[in-house]
DNA sequence: ATGGCCGCCCTAGGCGGA
């Protein structure tokens, strides 16, 4: 059986629901992990998702800001909320679906200054990363557990995950301290960064483009902020470029789009 | 070099985004 998992920072699920429905029709994911739903759980368009074929839902919302949700064609079991966010914002959830433990994360952006002593938002971001690392570090099942971690991790780790490494290296989302913290979290469970298996460096690969550009396609000043990681037990044996992993960049050109494009991974489960 | 654009909120400027 195969399981197609999508991750999308929708930047308001209520506003963007027609686009999510279109994406669901066209890409056909089994599971959709959303970030920045920007609403309370009771405001989530649960009925519309059920009618679109996603009756199984886990919603972790808060008023107006942040918020994550997972909707699924297959039954899911909610797991305890991960305690990665030191402010207890709605930025993390975990479910079990089709025998897989699935984490959906929205890591804090981190503000403007990459300095923990002057910028509490940056400290918050690093604390989140560190807590996630500690949590995975403490586990003893990393060699056999079937874990998928997706979300808006708000870090573009590689030189070719940003439009200009040189101009971005002191900009929050691409600083060495964040890249190191993300790598530590990834290594704590031997996660594989699946996108770069399918589309290796030095090919540029982006999932986010700022709204503050008249035409995002003109100079393509993007960043790869959205990620899908899989544990060792789920690592595919061979990678076919542009097949199983897709960054759906065309969605960025839809009318009134999210600033993030959705990404999908089709997992072939044995 | 700077700021550009969004979406939310006790509807209007402030906050958060990244």
| Token pair for A159 | 């030189």
Q: Which long-range contacts (CB under 8 A, 24 or more apart) does A85-90 make?
A: A85/A128, A85/A131, A86/A124, A86/A127, A86/A128, A86/A131, A87/A124, A89/A62, A89/A65, A90/A60, A90/A61, A90/A62, A90/A66
- Residues A71 and A59: their CA atoms lie apart, in Å, by 8
**Chain B: nucleotides under 7 Å from a protein CB?**
4-10, 16-18
At A240, the pLDDT band (50, 70, 90 cuts) reads low
Distances (CA, A) of A249 to A15, A208, A220, A261, A264: 19, 9, 11, 5, 11
At A246, which CATH number? 3.60.10.10
Structural domains of chain A, count? 1
pLDDT number for residue A269: 81
At A235, the pLDDT band (50, 70, 90 cuts) reads confident
Mean pLDDT of A54-64: 96
Which residue in A11, A62, A2 sits closest to A31, CA to CA?
A: A2
| Protein residue with the closest CA to the C1' atom of nucleotide B17 | A109
Q: Which residues pair with A228 in a beta bridge?
A: A150
Query: How does pLDDT run across A220-231, given as a tens digit for each residue?
Result: 999 999 999 999
Other C-beta atoms closer than 10 Å to the C-beta of A41 total: 16
Q: What is the CA radius of gyration of chain A?
A: 17
Residue A195 CA to nucleotide B3 C1', Å? Answer: 32
Q: What nucleotide is nearest A11 when CA is compared to C1'? A: B7
Order of strands, sheet of A92-97, starting from the edge strand that comes earlier in the sequence: A76-78, A92-97, A100-106, A147-152, A226-230, A192-193
Q: What nucleotide is nearest A156 when CA is compared to C1'? A: B18
Mean pLDDT of A198-218: 93
pLDDT at A237 over 80: no
At A68, the pLDDT band (50, 70, 90 cuts) reads very high
Mean pLDDT of A239-267: 90
pLDDT at A33 over 60: yes
Q: How high is the mean pLDDT of chain A?
A: 95
Parent domain of A87: 2-268
pLDDT number for residue A222: 96
Residue A72 contacts residue A31 (beta carbons within 8 Å)? yes
- Quick one: what percent of chain A has pLDDT higher than 90? 91
- Residues A208 and A10: their CA atoms lie apart, in Å, by 11
- Residues A16 and A37: their CA atoms lie apart, in Å, by 9
Query: How does pLDDT run across A245-258, given as a tens digit for each residue?
Result: 999 999 999 999 99
pLDDT number for residue A37: 97
pLDDT number for residue A1: 82
Side-chain half-sphere exposure of A95, counting CA atoms within 13 A: 23
Residue A249 CA to nucleotide B14 C1', Å? Answer: 32
At A268, the pLDDT band (50, 70, 90 cuts) reads confident
Query: How does pLDDT run across A113-155, given as a tens digit for each residue?
Result: 999 999 999 999 999 999 999 999 999 999 999 999 999 999 9
pLDDT at A241 over 70: no
pTM of the model: 0.96
Near strand B (CB < 7 A), which residues? Answer: A 9, 11-12, 14-15, 36, 38-39, 63-66, 108-112, 121, 152, 154, 172-173, 208, 210-214, 223, 225, 256, 259-260
Q: Which residues pair with A3 in a beta bridge?
A: A267
Name the burial class of residue A29, with classes exposed (0-12), middle (13-18) and buried (19+) by CB atoms within 10 angstroms of its CB.
Answer: buried
Mean pLDDT of A170-179: 96
């Amino acid at each position: 059986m195969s399981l197609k998992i999508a991750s999308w920072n929708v930047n308001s699920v209520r506003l963007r629901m027609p686009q999510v429905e279109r994406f669901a029709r066209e890409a056909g994911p089994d599971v959709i992990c959303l970030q920045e739903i920007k609403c309370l759980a009771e405001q989530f368009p649960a009925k519309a998702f059920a009618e679109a074929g996603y009756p199984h839902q886990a919603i972790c919302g808060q008023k107006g800001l942040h918020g994550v949700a997972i909707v699924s064609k297959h039954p899911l079991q909610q797991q305890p909320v991960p305690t990665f966010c030191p402010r207890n914002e709605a930025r993390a959830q975990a479910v079990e679906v089709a025998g897989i433990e699935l984490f959906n994360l929205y890591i804090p952006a981190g503000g403007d200054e990459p300095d923990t002593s002057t910028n509490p938002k940056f400290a918050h971001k690093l604390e989140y990363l560190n807590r996630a690392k500690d949590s995975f570090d403490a586990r003893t099942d990393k060699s056999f557990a079937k874990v998928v971690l997706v979300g808006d991790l708000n870090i573009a780790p590689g030189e070719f995950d940003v439009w200009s490494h040189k101009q971005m290296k002191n900009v929050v989302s691409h600083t060495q301290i964040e890249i190191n913290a993300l790598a530590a979290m990834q290594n704590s469970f031997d996660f594989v960064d699946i996108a770069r298996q399918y589309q290796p460096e030095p090919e540029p690969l982006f999932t986010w483009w700022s709204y503050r550009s008249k035409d995002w396609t003109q100079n393509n000043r993007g960043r790869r902020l959205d990620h899908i990681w899989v544990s060792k037990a789920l690592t595919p044996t061979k990678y076919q470029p542009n097949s199983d992993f897709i960054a759906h960049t065309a969605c960025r050109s839809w009318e009134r789009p999210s600033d993030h494009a959705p990404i999908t991974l089709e997992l072939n489960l044995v």
